[in-house]
Structure formats: C-alpha cells, structure tokens
Amino acid sequence: GLCNMGKINNAFEVMHRMIQNGCIPDCKIYTELIAGLCRDKKVDDAKRLLIKMSERGCLPSIVTYGILVHGFGKNGRVDEACQILEEMMLAGKTPNAVIFNSLLDVLCKTGRSQDAQELLLLMREVSCAPDVVTYSILIDTSCKENRLDEAWCLLREMINIGCVPNVVTYTTLIHGMCRQDDIDGAFQVLKVMSERGCMPNVVTYSTVIDGLFKAGRDGKAVELLVEMVEK
C-alpha cells in the first residue's frame, strides 16, 4: 500500500520495524519493495535489494525477476535487463511469457531486431509459448516499421496456432493502417473485430477518430465519436 502511494521510504520503515519485532519479511514483501523502487526509477537500489533478499535466505521469484527486467528495460538500460534474464536462468528459474514479452517489447522499441529475434529463439528453446501479448508486440513493431504485410502475416499466424487476438491486437493493427492513410482498411478491421466478438474500447475509437481527423475527414470523425458515446 505504501509503495503504491509512492511512499517507499515508509514501506522500508515498516519492513525494518517488523524485523526488529522478530517478524521475518518473506519473498513477497521484498518483491513489493523492489517493485516500488523500480516505479521510482531506482533500479540500482532494486537490484541491490534483490541481492540482499537472496543473502537473507529469500529466493527471488519469477515475478521478482520480471519486475527488475521491466524496470531496467523501461529505464533505457536494456543490456542490464537482458543480464537479469541471464541471471535468473543461471539461478535455475525459467522465464515465463510475461518476462519474455517485457524484454521483447523494449528490444523492438529500441530497434534491436536482431536481439529480438534471438530472444524469440530462446523462448522456443525453453518451451515458452508466445501469447497474445507477444504477437501484439510483434504486430506493433511491424506496423511502426511500415511492414503492414508482415503484421497481417503475424495475425494469421497467431490465429492459426490458436492464439486469439484481443482488443489491443486489433487496435494496434488499426493504428498501423491509419498511419498508412488506409482509413477504410482501419474501418474494415473495426467491423471485423466486433464480428469476431471483440468489442472496441475507448483506445480503439480514439485511434480511428485520430486517424480520421488527420486525414481531414472531420465529419466522419465526429460521427464515430457520437457512435462511441452511444455504444
């Protein structure tokens, strides 16, 4: 609770007080503190706490490592994020899809496609199945790098392997099409997703509305805004 309120220091105070009272913090408490530190961009402190918890006999969980990977990645320290992944594997923990996805996203967003490909291979090696988030990240990357054909291939591929696209996946594609000035295509996707039982949300609508305004189709944009409010 204190971490969520941004009061990390108070959270640490509580931990120290509980130790004084003979109550031993468990892995989850350390994990929360590490998350709080990462949220405050204090990733070095977070890393130190990971080491400290191990020394105190608390093994970091897969979630603890995930938080750190994400913390380093989101703070532009991609190599160190990769390093945490290696460390966890050395510690005998197999990364799950959340961790792979987190790292995959920063690799893609920083243009390190070679490393991203290698990470996908590693994911296969450890039998971690790509999920809807993995595909959404890849589709987003293809779209932002103007490879719409590739994005569509990925959509087909995920459906083929039984991975169901969700509202984020479709919204990502819609955004990609708007960026290519293919507003009509974007509308098609908007229609298709609903037909497949995936309801557009406020982000989906704002993506299309933004695309319409940028294409100078103000009337249509307002029309869609009204439709969104009505629905």
Interface residues with RNA (CB under 7 A) are 26, 28, 31-32, 35, 61-64, 66-67, 70, 96-99, 101-102, 105, 132-133, 136-137, 140, 166-169, 171-172, 175, 201-204, 206-207, 210
Nearer to RNA, 169 or 224 (CB): 169
Rounded to the nearest whole angstrom, what is the least distance from the CB of residue 51 to RNA in the complex? 18
Residue with tokens 């609508």: 205
Nearer to RNA, 47 or 70 (CB): 70
72 to 18, 34, 68, 92: CA distances (angstroms):
29, 12, 6, 21
Nearer to RNA, 12 or 25 (CB): 25
Rounded to the nearest whole angstrom, what is the least distance from the CB of residue 230 to RNA in the complex? 19
Nearer to RNA, 52 or 214 (CB): 214
Nearer to RNA, 51 or 164 (CB): 164
169 to 42, 118, 138, 154, 164: CA distances (angstroms):
32, 23, 10, 11, 9
Rounded to the nearest whole angstrom, what is the least distance from the CB of residue 174 to RNA in the complex? 7
Rounded to the nearest whole angstrom, what is the least distance from the CB of residue 108 to RNA in the complex? 9
86 to 15, 117, 142: CA distances (angstroms):
29, 16, 27
Nearer to RNA, 49 or 137 (CB): 137
Total residues belonging to the chain: 231
User: How far apart are alpha carbons 151 and 139 in whole angstroms?
Assistant: 5
User: How far apart are alpha carbons 132 and 222 in whole angstroms?
Assistant: 32
Helix (H, G, I), strand (E, B) or coil at 110: coil
Residue 206, Cβ neighbours under 10 Å: how many?
Answer: 14
Rounded to the nearest whole angstrom, what is the least distance from the CB of residue 131 to RNA in the complex? 7
Sign of the dihedral through C-alpha 132, 164, 180, 120 = positive
Rounded to the nearest whole angstrom, what is the least distance from the CB of residue 36 to RNA in the complex? 10
Residue 76, Cβ neighbours under 10 Å: how many?
Answer: 10
